[in-house]
Amino acid sequence: MNTEVKPDWDSLKSQNEDCKMKTTDPSHYKVIGKLFRYPDCTLEDTLRQMKRITNDYLETQKYIDSFRLHISSHDIDTLREYYISTFDILALCYLDIGYVLFGEDYLRGEFLVNLQAEYRKAGLSWGKELPDHLPNLLLLISKNNNRDFVDEFCWCLLIPALKEMIHNFNSETNVYKGLLQMLLIILEKDFTYLDIEQYHIKTGVKSDFLDCIGCSWKKSKKNVKTF
């Protein structure tokens, strides 16, 4: 059984005094990640926790309000059918970030292998889903005490992937598209201080995060360590 390693955020904060991130504690990503998991009886509690988070990101309130209305208007079986039709049967959107970034390219395999190493360092398990499953990644971000990894992964890879997911989402009324937009807003506010080039999915420009699989990218001004 894996034991979670609690990040020493006070120490990290002292080492990054010039950091402009909205918060030095990314624990809110663990809560947000629960919204993207298969619906269960914990959803109401998760929504209560989200109230504190949206108070810090007021522009996201409309998205969580829509999701709250969705939850309150349907029973658990209907919620599960809606989830499955969104992410599995109809595949309006894929939650596997590596697939969004690389499709069926072999790079996704290398990406997954390196993610597994990050989970192990953080004392986490990816469970029944793949390591690049969005809820798993948000948990990893919340528990990983390697700030360089968190910065680099969120800004350079996760944000471009979310933009691609939102752009390709084949429904304007699906509440999960709103949750993706909410997550994108929060990520961009939290990591807007980074002066690093982001991964470009369609042009094939790779990020430094992927140095270990033979790829490269350009950095501007600020150096960020790879893991």
Q: Which of 12-16, 107-111, 173-177, 206-210 has the highest mean pLDDT?
A: 173-177
Q: Which CATH architecture has domain 23-213?
A: Orthogonal Bundle (1.10)
- For the segment 209-222, the average pLDDT, to the nearest whole number, is 43
Between 57 and 106, whose confidence is greater?
A: 57
Q: Average pLDDT, whole number, for the chain?
A: 83
- Looking at residue 209, its pLDDT comes to 53
Categorize the per-residue pLDDT at 203 as very low, low, confident or very high, splitting at 50, 70 and 90: very low
pTM for the whole thing? 0.79
Provide the token pair at 57.
């990101």
Please report, as a single letter, which amino acid is at residue 223. Answer: N
Q: Is the pLDDT of residue 221 over 50?
A: no
Categorize the per-residue pLDDT at 202 as very low, low, confident or very high, splitting at 50, 70 and 90: low
DSSP codes, the chain: ---PPPP-HHHHHHHTTT---S-S-TTHHHHHHHHTSPP-TTHHHHHHHHHHHHHHSGGGHHHHHHHHHHHHTS-HHHHHHHHHIIIIIS-SS--BHHHHHHTTSTHHHHHHHHHHHHHHHTT---TTS-TTBHHHHHHHHHH---HHHHHHIIIIIIHHHHHHHHHH-S-SS-HHHHHHHHHHHHHHHHSTT--BPPPBTTTTBPPGGGGGGT----B-S------
